[in-house]
Amino acid sequence: MKHFLYILLCLLACTRSAYAQQWHFGVEGGYTLNSFHAPTLHTSSRSGFKAGGVVNYTFKSNFLLESGLAFERKGGTLSGSSIAGQRINQVEANNMDYLHLPFLMGYAFHLGKQFALLPQAGGYLNTGIGGSGLCSGHDPYNQPYTNAIEIFSSRNNLYYRPFSRMDAGLLFAASLQYRKIRLKVSYELGLSKIHSTYGSPKNRTLGISAVYLFR
Condensed to tens digits (0 to 9), the pLDDT of residues 79-92 reads 987 786 678 899 99
pLDDT value at 95 more than 70:
yes
* Domain-wise residue ranges, the chain: 23-79+94-129+165-195+202-213
Top pLDDT among 39 and 171 is at: 171
- The residue among 69, 66, 72, 67 whose CA lies nearest residue 31 is 72
- Is residue 63 within 8 A of residue 43, CB to CB? The reply is no
Predicted confidence at residue 119, as pLDDT, reads 98
Residue 30: pLDDT band (50, 70, 90) is: very high
> Cα–Cα distance between 90 and 41 in angstroms, integer?
10
pLDDT at residue 76 in the model? 95
Q: Which CATH architecture has domain 23-79+94-129+165-195+202-213?
A: Beta Barrel (2.40)
pLDDT of residue 47: 97
Q: Strands, E, within the chain: which ranges? A: 23-37, 42-44, 46-58, 63-79, 88-107, 109-111, 115-138, 144-150, 166-178, 181-190, 202-213
Q: What is the pLDDT of residue 99?
A: 98
Contact at 8 Å (CB) between 42 and 89? no
Average of per-residue pLDDT values in the chain: 88
Rounded to the nearest angstrom, the gap between the alpha carbon of residue 196 and the centroid of all alpha carbons in its chain is: 19
* Measured torsion, CA atoms of residues 91, 96, 102, 104, in degrees rounded to the nearest 10: 50
Lowest mean pLDDT among 98-112, 126-140, 149-163, 200-214: 149-163
Q: Is residue 50 within 8 Å of 211, Cβ to Cβ?
A: no
**What pLDDT is stored for residue 81 in this prediction?**
78
C-alpha torsion sign, points 82, 83, 88, 93:
negative
**Amino acid present at 199:** G
116: left (phi over 0), alpha (psi -120 to 50) or beta: beta
Share of the chain above pLDDT 70, in %: 87
Q: Among 100-104, 105-109, 143-147, 164-168, whose mean pLDDT is lowest?
A: 143-147
